[in-house]
């Protein structure tokens, strides 16, 4: 594909200018604004399969897929048909539907740790509700999270580490009072000794530990098996709930989510609660949180923990989610997706090696990450040692060649079933060109 011409004075630029007058930063979610990489965000006009087209008619191979949900690619015919049919039956009722029950049954079938669940509309809502429920079910206030993991923008989770294990977090956003994060302890990802120390001090007052098992909000960093094993053991020992945030990894890295990946190495492994989103909605606003019956029965109207939503279990969103789950449940789906993702990463590695550029990557199922570093980082601080300017050169070099990756070095990438070998070859060749620039 021919390189793009400069986006200046383009329709993208004109739209961005208009947007900025009315929408803070011109976007409805911050990372879309290209603030980390500079330049003009692409305004999407339409998408199909592995591609989207921007307002200037430029086609991109899309490795974001709406930040994860579009695992089948855009506009999968079976999903479009299900959504069209659902729309004709009504957009929203505020009363229960059979489809909500079907979706709950499907999720419970695929994720053995989940005995009951509730549907909501966003990952933020699911994470926030899961934490309230964990606190309500245990009668404890403290929560443990890890630096570099994102669980949505609920106040108590917008927090960075305090100055030691005895002091709790500090807000990372204006508008979050320090008192609201005073029960949130932020620890280093993959740091077993620190985790043990934290539980020794705070274990008996900790409601839950929430973790992205494969962290996709610091690019792509796996929790090591020994670390995850210790998380499970310490939660059990201290009566805290282990909450897996699988908003990104759920139905993305494997049909049973990241928990099924860890269960292969840790016999009998299960979290107590799971937070889900993205793929279960197939691109529509739908998320969920679920867990053991004993915990979930604490939710209103059955139990004392309040949670509600006007659009929860929306009939169009559930139709989209169900149709998506049906496709990804077909035999061989994850094998194909996983091999394709591995081929992308190994192709990029080969090109980087050829150019003599430091590079490493990793993937699981249809989720991947890569770093302009010699070795895969194990925590947020290491991820952030990546040279920003070099990443920005890579990002813009790929964008100019019609390849759309996340516009920030701390974000994961997503493969879809619609990506072809030709798309991967085109991506690898484009990256080869850019690596040559980086090697100079
Ligand atoms: N948890 C994780 C792991 C996520 O990646 C995200 C969003 O990217 C969220 C929670 C929040 O989900 P949402 O953006 O739907 O509110």
- What 3-state DSSP class applies to 82? helix
Q: Are residues 152 and 187 in the same domain?
A: yes
CATH number at residue 294: 3.40.640.10
pLDDT attached to residue 415: 98
Is there an atom of ligand 1 within 6 Å of 16 CB?
A: no
pLDDT attached to residue 6: 52
Is there an atom of ligand 1 within 6 Å of 152 CB?
A: yes
Cβ–Cβ under 8 Å, residues 300 and 308: yes
Q: Residue 179 domain-assigned?
A: yes
Q: Are residues 129 and 161 in the same domain?
A: yes
Q: Are residues 110 and 156 in the same domain?
A: yes
Predicted confidence pLDDT, tens digits, the chain (440 residues):
444 455 456 999 999 999 999 999 999 999 999 999 999 999 999 999 999 999 999 999 999 999 999 999 999 999 999 999 999 999 999 999 999 999 999 999 999 999 999 999 999 999 999 999 999 999 999 999 999 999 999 999 999 877 777 767 899 999 999 999 999 999 999 999 999 999 999 999 999 999 999 999 999 999 999 999 999 999 999 999 999 999 999 999 999 999 999 999 999 999 999 999 999 999 999 999 999 999 999 999 999 999 999 999 999 999 999 999 999 999 999 999 999 999 999 999 999 999 999 999 999 999 999 999 999 999 999 999 999 999 999 999 999 999 999 999 999 999 999 999 999 999 999 999 999 999 97
Measure 215 CA to ligand 1 centroid, in angstroms. 11
**Residues in CB range of 37: below 8 A, 6 or more apart:** 391, 392, 395, 396, 407, 408
- What 3-state DSSP class applies to 383? helix
For residue 88 the two structure tokens come to 């004709």
Q: Of 260, 293, 328, which residue constitutes the final position of a domain?
A: 328
Q: Whose CA is nearest to atom 5 of ligand 1?
A: 248
Per DSSP, helices labelled H in 139-256 are 192-202, 225-238
Query: Of 31, 124, 251, which is best to mutate to test ligand 1, by the most ligand atoms within 8 angstroms of its C-beta?
Result: 124
The number of domains in the chain is 2
pLDDT attached to residue 1: 43
CATH number at residue 369: 3.90.1150.10
Question: What's the distance, CA 343 to chain centroid?
Answer: 21
Is there an atom of ligand 1 within 6 Å of 249 CB?
A: no
d(C-alpha 82, C-alpha 76), whole Å = 10
Cite the active site residues: 150, 245, 278
Is there an atom of ligand 1 within 6 Å of 248 CB?
A: yes
What's the domain range around 432? 11-75+332-438
Q: What is the pLDDT of residues 321-336, one digit of tens each?
A: 999 999 999 999 999 9
pLDDT attached to residue 174: 94
Q: Are residues 283 and 390 in the same domain?
A: no
Q: Are residues 415 and 376 in the same domain?
A: yes
Q: Whose CA is nearest to atom 13 of ligand 1?
A: 123
Q: Residue 5 domain-assigned?
A: no
List b or e across 382-402, with b for residues whose CB sees 16 or more CB atoms inside 10 angstroms: bbeebeeeebbbbbbbbbbbb
Q: Are residues 310 and 348 in the same domain?
A: no
Q: Are residues 188 and 93 in the same domain?
A: yes
Question: Which among 353, 317, 319 is positioned nearest to 432, based on CA atoms?
Answer: 353
d(C-alpha 288, C-alpha 117), whole Å = 7
Q: Are residues 140 and 275 in the same domain?
A: yes
Per DSSP, helices labelled H in 218-359 are 225-238, 257-265, 293-296, 315-328, 333-355
Backbone CA torsion sign across 65, 69, 70, 72: positive
Q: Of 298, 328, 358, which residue constitutes the final position of a domain?
A: 328
């Amino acid at each position: 594909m021919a390189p793009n011409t400069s986006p200046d004075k383009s329709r993208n630029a004109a739209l961005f200018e208009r947007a900025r007058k009315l929408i803070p930063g011109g976007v409805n979610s911050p990372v879309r604004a290209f603030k980390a990489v500079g330049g003009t965000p692409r305004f999407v006009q339409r998408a199909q399969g592995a591609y989207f087209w921007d307002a200037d008619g430029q086609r991109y191979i899309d490795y974001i897929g709406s930040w994860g949900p579009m695992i089948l690619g855009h506009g999968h015919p079976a999903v479009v048909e299900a959504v069209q049919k659902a729309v004709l039956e009504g957009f929203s009722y505020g009363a229960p539907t059979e489809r909500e029950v079907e979706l709950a049954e499907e999720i419970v079938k695929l994720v053995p740790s989940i005995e009951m669940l509730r549907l909501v509309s966003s990952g933020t809502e699911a994470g926030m509700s899961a934490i309230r429920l964990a606190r309500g079910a245990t009668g404890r206030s403290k929560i443990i999270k890890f630096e570099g993991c994102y669980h949505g923008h609920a106040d108590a989770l917008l927090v960075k580490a305090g100055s030691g294990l005895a002091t709790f977090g500090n807000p990372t956003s204006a508008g979050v009072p320090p008192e609201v994060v005073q029960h949130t302890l932020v620890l280093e990802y993959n740091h077993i000794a620190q985790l043990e120390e934290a539980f020794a001090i705070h274990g008996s007052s900790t409601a839950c530990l929430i973790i992205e098992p494969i962290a996709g909000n610091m690019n792509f960093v796996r929790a090591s098996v020994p670390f995850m094993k210790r998380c499970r053991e310490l939660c059990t020992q201290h009566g805290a709930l282990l909450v897996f945030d699988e908003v990104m990894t759920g139905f993305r890295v494997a049909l049973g989510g990241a928990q099924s990946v860890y269960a292969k190495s840790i016999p009998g492994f299960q979290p107590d609660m799971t937070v889900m989103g993205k793929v279960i909605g197939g691109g529509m606003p739908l998320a969920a949180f679920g867990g053991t019956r004993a915990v979930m029965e604490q939710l209103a109207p059955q139990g004392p923990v309040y949670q509600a939503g006007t659009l929860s279990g929306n009939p169009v969103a559930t139709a989209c989610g169900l149709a998506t789950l049906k496709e990804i449940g077909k035999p061989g789906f994850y094998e194909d997706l996983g091999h394709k993702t591995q081929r992308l990463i190994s192709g990029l590695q080969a090109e980087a090696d050829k150019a003599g550029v430091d590079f490493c990557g990793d993937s699981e199922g249809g989720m991947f990450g890569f770093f302009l570093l010699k070795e895969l980082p194990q925590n947020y601080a290491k991820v952030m040692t990546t040279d920003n300017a070099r990443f920005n050169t890579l990002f813009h070099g790929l964008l100019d060649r019609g390849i759309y990756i996340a516009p920030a070095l701390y974000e994961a990438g997503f493969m879809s079933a619609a990506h072809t070998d030709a798309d991967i070859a085109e991506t690898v060749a484009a990256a080869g060109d850019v690596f040559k620039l980086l090697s100079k």
